[in-house]
């Protein structure tokens, strides 16, 4: 990893308008958690619905998409990546540095708000908090790696990423049950299910896959994404901004 | 802005002896200058033609026509995704011998919400972000076109494209239903309602997404901001409705869907056409509900246009 690349990435990510979205969305989520608390008085089922359905299902992928495309996609888009690629820094190092920043940002802007949402909306001791922290962290790791790879591979990273994160599982998964097994969210939920133990079924925090296959699939997806990103960055073809 | 605004062209050095440009009477509507090399005696199409060309180019560009092949992939892939369900629905009517399509014409855009959002989010930054980013706005504005014309042409272009896509899928639903020999009159009425609904939806979505795109000159961020905004609003409104219901504010819960473009349009359709709502949503009963929802739609479109026009009042810089 390269400290200068990381610093530049952080500045690119948090500078200007993207940062507004990165701060605004968690704030909205926390406000929503406060409302849920006020409406249901800490009812655990409502808290789980908010965390599982909205925070983990929509908010987290969106944040990871914003971060993942923000760390490298904009540079490729406006062509300024050539100045970085022209330096004697291995492409491997560039990808890892950018991924490290993306993961850090995902933890700060997506996973912590997710845990705070659970705590605000209602928690059983800290069990729900831990469960969703584990699920959120795993999902964030995989989503950011995939989205960084996507933004190296294609200029339509945002749209393809969303089609996968939201349409794939919710719509296709409804018709073809096997599709649900190939979903980052289901893999991450397996961890939450294990932590919650026998209460998982009662709170409807269930996953389509077991814990071991889920972790293996997560690792495979992440490794694949990183390898793909490095390889495509080694042979990156710059196209004119469209 | 006044109607006979002089062309805000590039700063012309006021060389003595040069053809008097600013002073030429009754020639304010064209910019083919006679600078002494070659005369032009053909027709001068003027402002209306500029706007028309801009609109046509916008509509073509949204579908990737006249752009490189990789710009055609995304819009057509999304259109493909939008057109598949009507085929499946037609097949399912045939197989189950039902008398009604499983999803109504007005429910269809709501069910395909994500794809519609992605389509408009991909198209809106194409329409405005590049012109801002590459600094070509001064070139446009040096034509006999007013700044508001530019904004309105882009808005109309995007709205027409979105409407065309949505209306096409509605029509495919109709064709499927008719091929399955459902009652013609009933289906035609449903289709007309659906087309009206998607027209309103196209206007509202185009307005909102163009405003966001006009303030994000970077294309990637523009796409992300529009998608994130629309999807988050949709999710948040659902949660708010559930919360309001739980606390017993039934009236508030019925008016809240007006904040989400898709349920706003659905609400108008439900109250105006008397069709079944999407996802069993409840909308305010009777005329006040229709009035409020319609007013919100009109205000949204109007405000978006006003913001857009204002955005282009101040120069064309990034």
Domain ranges of chain A: 3-234
CA of B273, closest CA in chain A: separation in Å? 28
Q: How does the average pLDDT of chain A come out, rounded?
A: 87
Q: What is the pLDDT of residue B29?
A: 61
CA of B129, closest CA in chain A: separation in Å? 10
CA of B111, closest CA in chain A: separation in Å? 10
The whole-number average pLDDT for the span A172-186 is 79
Residue B215: list chain A partners with CB under 8 A: 17
**Is residue A163 a contact partner of residue A80, using CB atoms and an 8 Å limit?**
no
Q: Give the helix/strand (H/E) hosting A55.
A: none
CA of A155, closest CA in chain B: separation in Å? 8
Residue B68: list chain A partners with CB under 8 A: 242
Report which DSSP code applies to A240.
-
Say how many C-beta atoms besides its own lie within 10 A of residue B255's C-beta.
20
Q: Is B159 helix (H, G, I), strand (E, B) or coil?
A: helix
| Of B173, B166, B190, residue with least CA distance to B110 | B166
**Is residue A108 a contact partner of residue A74, using CB atoms and an 8 Å limit?**
no
Residue A35: list chain B partners with CB under 8 A: 239-240, 243
Residue A78's pLDDT band (cuts 50, 70, 90): confident
**Rounded Cα distance, A213 and B192, in Å:** 50
Could you tell me the CA-to-CA distances from A1 to A5, A96, A98, A193, B299 in Å, in that order? 8, 6, 9, 34, 51
Kindly report, residue by residue over A131-145, the tens digit of the pLDDT. Answer: 999 999 999 999 999
Of B81, B218, B239, nearest to A74 by CB-CB distance is B218
- Half-sphere exposure (Cβ direction) of A77: Cα atoms closer than 13 Å: 23
Choose, out of B131, B235, B244, the residue to mutate when testing the contact with A (most A CBs < 10 Å).
B235
CA of A212, closest CA in chain B: separation in Å? 32
Provide the angle, in degrees to the nearest 10, between the axes of the packed helices B219-246 and B113-133: 140
The whole-number average pLDDT for the span A164-178 is 74
Of A111-120, A218-227, B66-75, B309-318, minimum mean pLDDT range: B309-318
Choose, out of A76, A162, A167, A174, the residue to mutate when testing the contact with B (most B CBs < 10 Å).
A162
Of A18, A35, A77, nearest to B243 by CB-CB distance is A35
Could you tell me the CA-to-CA distances from B80 to B83, B101, B125 in Å, in that order? 5, 20, 21
Q: What is the pLDDT of residue A239?
A: 64
Of B126, B216, B223, nearest to A159 by CB-CB distance is B223
**What phi and psi values does residue B281 have, to the nearest 5 degrees?**
-70, 155
**Rounded Cα distance, A143 and A148, in Å:** 8
> Which residue in chain B has the smallest CA separation from A66?
B224
Q: Give the helix/strand (H/E) hosting A57.
A: none
Q: What is the pLDDT of residue B9?
A: 43
Q: What is the pLDDT of residue B315?
A: 58
Mean pLDDT in order along chain B per 10 residues (318 residues)? 42 42 49 79 83 93 89 91 89 83 88 91 89 82 83 94 95 90 88 95 96 85 88 90 87 91 93 86 86 95 94 66
Q: What is the pLDDT of residue A240?
A: 54
User: Residue A231: is its pLDDT beyond 70?
Assistant: yes
Does A74 contact B220 at a Cβ distance shorter than 8 Å?
Answer: yes
Q: What is the pLDDT of residue A235?
A: 87
Largest CA distance in chain B: 83
Q: What is the pLDDT of residue B30?
A: 63
Residue B259: list chain A partners with CB under 8 A: none
Choose, out of A22, A59, A156, the residue to mutate when testing the contact with B (most B CBs < 10 Å).
A156
> Which residue in chain B has the smallest CA separation from A55?
B235
Does A40 contact B246 at a Cβ distance shorter than 8 Å?
Answer: yes
Q: What is the pLDDT of residue B5?
A: 41
Choose, out of B82, B122, B239, the residue to mutate when testing the contact with A (most A CBs < 10 Å).
B239
- Which own/partner contact pairs does B135-138 have at CB distance under 8 Å and 24+ positions apart? B135/B316, B135/B317, B135/B318, B136/B316, B137/B312, B137/B315, B137/B316, B137/B317, B138/B10, B138/B315, B138/B316
Kindly report, residue by residue over B66-90, the tens digit of the pLDDT. Answer: 888 888 888 999 999 999 988 888 8
Q: What is the pLDDT of residue A174?
A: 64
User: Residue A6: is its pLDDT beyond 90?
Assistant: yes
């Amino acid at each position: 990893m390269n400290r200068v690349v990381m610093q530049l990435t952080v500045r690119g990510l948090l500078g200007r308008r993207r940062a507004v979205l990165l701060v605004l969305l968690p704030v909205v989520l926390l406000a929503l958690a406060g409302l849920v608390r006020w409406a249901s008085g800490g009812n655990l089922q409502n808290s789980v619905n908010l965390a599982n359905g909205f925070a983990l299902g929509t908010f987290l992928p969106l944040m990871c998409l914003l971060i993942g495309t923000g760390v490298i996609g904009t540079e490729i888009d406006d062509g300024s990546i050539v100045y970085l690629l022209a330096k004697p820094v291995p492409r491997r190092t560039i990808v890892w540095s950018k991924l490290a920043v993306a993961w850090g940002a995902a933890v700060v802007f997506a996973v912590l708000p997710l845990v705070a949402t659970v705590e605000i909306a209602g928690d059983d001791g800290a069990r729900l908090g831990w469960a969703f922290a584990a699920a959120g962290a795993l999902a964030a790791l995989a989503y950011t790696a995939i989205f960084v790879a996507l933004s190296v591979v294609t200029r339509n990273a945002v749209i393809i990423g969303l089609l996968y994160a939201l349409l794939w599982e919710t719509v296709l998964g409804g018709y073809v049950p096997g599709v649900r097994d190939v979903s980052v969210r289901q893999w991450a939920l397996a961890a939450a299910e294990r932590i919650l133990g026998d209460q998982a079924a009662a709170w409807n925090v269930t996953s389509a896959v077991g814990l071991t296959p889920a972790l293996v699939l997560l690792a495979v997806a992440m490794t694949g994404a990183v390898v793909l990103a490095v390889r495509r960055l080694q042979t990156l073809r710059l196209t004119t901004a469209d | 802005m006044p109607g006979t605004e002089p062309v805000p062209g590039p700063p012309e050095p006021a060389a003595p002896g040069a053809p008097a440009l600013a002073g030429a009477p009754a020639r304010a509507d064209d910019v083919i200058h006679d600078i002494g090399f070659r005369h032009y005696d053909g027709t001068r199409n003027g402002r209306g033609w500029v706007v028309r060309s801009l609109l046509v180019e916008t509509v073509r560009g949204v579908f990737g026509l006249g752009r490189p092949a990789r710009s055609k992939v995304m819009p057509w892939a999304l259109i493909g995704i939008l057109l598949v369900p009507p085929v499946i629905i037609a097949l399912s009517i045939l197989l189950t011998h039902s008398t009604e399509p499983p999803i109504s014409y007005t429910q269809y855009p709501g069910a395909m919400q994500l794809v519609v959002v992605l389509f408009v989010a991909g198209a809106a930054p194409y329409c405005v972000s590049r012109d801002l980013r590459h600094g070509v706005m001064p070139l446009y504005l040096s034509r006999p076109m007013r700044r508001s014309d530019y904004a309105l042409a882009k808005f109309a272009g995007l709205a027409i494209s979105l409407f065309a896509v949505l209306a096409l899928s509605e029509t495919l639903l109709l064709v499927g239903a008719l091929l399955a020999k459902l009652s013609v009159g009933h289906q035609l009425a449903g289709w007309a309602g659906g087309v009206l609904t998607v027209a309103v939806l196209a206007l509202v979505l185009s307005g909102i997404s163009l405003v966001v795109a006009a303030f994000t000159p970077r294309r990637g961020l523009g796409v992300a901001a529009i998608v994130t905004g629309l999807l988050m609003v949709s999710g948040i409104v659902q949660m708010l409705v559930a919360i309001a219901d739980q606390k017993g504010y039934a009236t508030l819960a019925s008016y809240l869907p007006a904040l989400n473009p898709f349920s706003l349009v659905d609400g108008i359709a439900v109250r105006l056409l008397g069709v079944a709502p999407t996802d069993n949503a409840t909308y305010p009963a009777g005329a006040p509900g229709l009035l409020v929802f319609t007013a919100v739609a009109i205000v949204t479109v109007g405000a978006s246009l006003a913001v857009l026009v204002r955005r282009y009042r101040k120069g064309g810089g990034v």
